[in-house]
Amino acid sequence: MKRSWKVLSLCMVVLVAGVVLLSVGCGGGGSSKIRFVNASPNAPSFNVVIDGKTVLNGLGFGYVTSYMTVSSGTRHIQFQPVGTTNTTFDTMVSIGGSTNNTYILQNFLNLLTGKLYVDNQTPPASGSAMIRVINAAASVSSVDIYLVPSGTDPTSVTPTASSVALEGSTPYINETAGPYVVFFTQPGFPNNIYIDSGALTFNSLQNRTIVGLSTLGGFASITLPDLN
């Protein structure tokens, strides 16, 4: 298979080293949860502020926080470079009641965007896993996504999802527990692989999210544990 892009693997499953969680609650109202991912390849490390209160320090590129509790309703979220009180990205998000959520800061520094994803907390049937794949790769406009059993050549199968734009994602997909691989490819050209996740083992009753990233030198992917 041709790989015309440099493929990297961060091999990360919720890295919180260097990220300091300062609070596990914000505001009033029903309790939900939120975690953060910095997927902007050239952005600095950020402190995250919710409703005027700093809730974590030092969210660097590729890092994923653990869940923290957050009140449902409309929340004001700001990202401030470590060592300053200047706000680089400012947004309002709506948090549903009794939900778990992932907020991903995306794109390059001069084009920052962010999106809230609601995480599935319903366990799959015994013997199955639920997998979602998110495109947060800033350097490509869209990708084809393949979620396939480990050892599968993507040129031999149809994409799981086609032409997925930045911030786009698959739904949660029910799969038999076992080893899989996720490919992000140029749309329509399965031999031009941007990201090869390597073998990923999904166990029974697990929900997982795979996030594709651009780095300053190529690409990478991270795995987020949503349930179990």
Structure tokens at 208: 């997982």
Which residues share a beta bridge with 179? 201
Structure tokens at 95: 């948090």
- Beta strand 53-59 with 46-50 is antiparallel
> Is pLDDT at 23 greater than 60 in this prediction?
no
**What Å distances lie between residue 139 and 113, 122, 163, CA to CA?**
14, 33, 14
Between 2 and 55, residue with greater pLDDT:
55
Which residues share a beta bridge with 208? 131, 225
Structure tokens at 144: 């084809």
> Is pLDDT at 3 greater than 90 in this prediction?
no
Q: Find the distance separating the first CA and the last CA of the chain, reported in whole Å.
A: 34
Q: Domains in the chain, ordered, with CATH?
A: 13-119 (2.60.40), 122-227 (2.60.40)
Between 29 and 130, residue with greater pLDDT:
130
* Spatial distance between the Cα atoms of 98 and 105, rounded to a whole number of angstroms: 22
**Residue 31 pLDDT:** 87
Could you report the per-residue pLDDT of 102-124, keeping only the tens digit for each? 999 999 999 999 999 999 999 99
Confidence of residue 30 (pLDDT cuts 50, 70, 90): low
Could you report the per-residue pLDDT of 43-100, keeping only the tens digit for each? 999 999 999 999 999 999 999 999 999 999 999 999 999 999 999 999 999 999 999 9
Please choose, from the candidates 126, 142, 132, the residue with its C-alpha nearest in 3D space to the C-alpha of residue 101. 132
> Is pLDDT at 226 greater than 90 in this prediction?
yes
**Residue 1 pLDDT:** 43
Do 193 and 154 touch, CB atoms closer than 8 A? yes
For residues 160-185, one letter each, b for 16 or more C-beta atoms within 10 angstroms of the residue's C-beta and e for the rest, the string is bbeebebbbbbebeebebeebbbbbb
Record the pTM.
0.90
Could you report the per-residue pLDDT of 122-153, keeping only the tens digit for each? 999 999 999 999 999 999 999 999 999 999 99
> Is pLDDT at 4 greater than 70 in this prediction?
no
* Spatial distance between the Cα atoms of 120 and 132, rounded to a whole number of angstroms: 9
Confidence of residue 13 (pLDDT cuts 50, 70, 90): very low
Rounded average pLDDT over 15-37: 64
**What integer best gives the mean pLDDT of the chain?**
91
190: left (phi over 0), alpha (psi -120 to 50) or beta: alpha
